[in-house]
Structure 1
């Protein structure tokens, strides 16, 4: 039975413009689910450039290994993504399944295997029967078209309750280009280079090395600044594809990330990735609250981020938020355990614009009723002043509810 739509789900979806040079299709391969799409195919025009970032897990999935080995080539002609089975911790069988998937995709699309990228999401430890893609990918290749990105986003969902898509328009040297993306993820979210699965597409003519530099930087303030449950997936994959089709409309071909003409594109990429990352958190399994945690005054930016993530990943903090309890003592605990410099008597904590603690004790103007009303809102802002330096960082998380336990307790049932 499908999970109920997250109360934090978007009220509407953006209109996704067609991106010249990329086509999509989604279908049913019967990998795990019945009566729904579970595989998507994206086809790219010849010359499409690609960049990617992946999980730092020491137990990566077979598709992650496959993509890493082909990323150095910098070119992409096809992307195959399946849901229901992560093809992770499947040993040599998993590597063979990835190769068979690419072989089937190559035959279906005419693309060389070196330019085919793969991603899988779902149950870990169960062999993926890649033979189920036979015939399916051929049909998808035959009917792929630019306007089917939303359907593709639907096919890659697992415990997600809604499709995560975003789009941004920008100009490079006066020529309009488009960035659009999709993501999936609801649990096992504490990204370390990417989030479970995310794919971004643009018609901008940007070379792979420049794409890679921009992506690696942009991800730090977006996908690497979110957490749902502190668990980093074996399958984290974020790929950025640039078809270069805008070159025919006069857009300059850019080869270096420090090219000044890329400044608007970099900002647009930051906006797009942050939008998708926020959508992942808002669909956190069982989530009812979207939480923004900002730390200032830390010894360094890196220290601020570690403190913020310590708070964001604390089950005690997250369950208190689920219970609409402004239990700032749990935040003090999380700051103290982060392993970074902190001074109890310099610490100050705010919920929204209400200061609840200062100088090592409860704020003398603390009003329980006022804070309780604030905690009923769907978005909770927590600010923490460390008082030791100029380091600052913001991360995003969600609350931890009974539904999270139910979803994950029944995941393989």
Structure 2
């Protein structure tokens, strides 16, 4: 990373609490990168011979979808917690549940049903953990640095998708998939310990007390209700859901396109995913430089450009053209989530932010699987390439429609940056007094997933 590229991230790296949490966050991201391969591979090994496809789908769903239920079922108890507590608890649950998988293997009781149950338990707090991580960013940094911090946290995941799968392949060949899951569990144990050691509970409580004025009603309101009352947040959530849903069919149509239309090998499919990962890593590093761009217009432009970048695949372009186009799609994709999260951080008050982000995560985590489920029958009925083309064109149209709406003068909340709830410790413009700092050593600090 060049010094110029690092410039937006220096305030984030200079924040003492975040700086000490970054190694734990990077470690857990690598663990998740390993799990991309290990979760499905272990499901294949444990499933009965004639049911491998079914149980593999269950395992993949169990590793992500229960978090949506956890957002609703646990909102009453978790909605008023600090970012540090939410993220730390999620890391602890994931470490314990994933660690139970190799423990059950050693005890000789691990079967595919227990495996899926443990995966489901591990993902129960996932949206809350993500909400806690980005709430912590809002608690520790001024608003002008939120986008860079969000992007930096995203870069860990993008790098892990490049490094993790090939490393997982080597580890599976050497020790077995169950022990790669064990490594993933250890990575979350490291993260949980990081929150416990770096962001102490009493410090998180101090930040929460400053962020939540007495009698602040919205902190007791469901995140879904808060989003529903704010047309700007509701529009953002709708755009995100539609965008991710329309990308879902690619996970089905893309492998079929490579094998049936291009008559290529698994190596070609891997090359596409690697190109996308490299592009998204570069896009993540560039995201911090978009701070001055209008966020809603930026999001709409990302969606439109992403659809345009996927058109070569749908039009049947040769690999020499469609591969770099797919890398461009990855580069464009990367800034979307950090920018959308920054808008949530800007619009929602610090008291409501964990609930709002958890509700957003619960909805968007369903979008890609639902789109993937649509991709199966669509590919069977129309073929892989027409399905890819339909998705690309629809995503492009979605982006153009969102851009038109964002540019419409006088639209309520078009570029409104006012919050919907009480302000947090960094909401006021200008420098902040050092007396209330949350980054002072051995003084007030907080934590997250």
Please confirm whether the aligned pair reaches a TM-score higher than 0.5, indicating the same fold: no
Q: With structure 2 as the length reference, what TM-score do the two structures score?
A: 0.25
Whichever structure has more helix as a proportion of its residues is 2
Whichever structure has more strand as a proportion of its residues is 1
Q: Which has the higher contact order (CA 8 A, sep 6+)?
A: 2
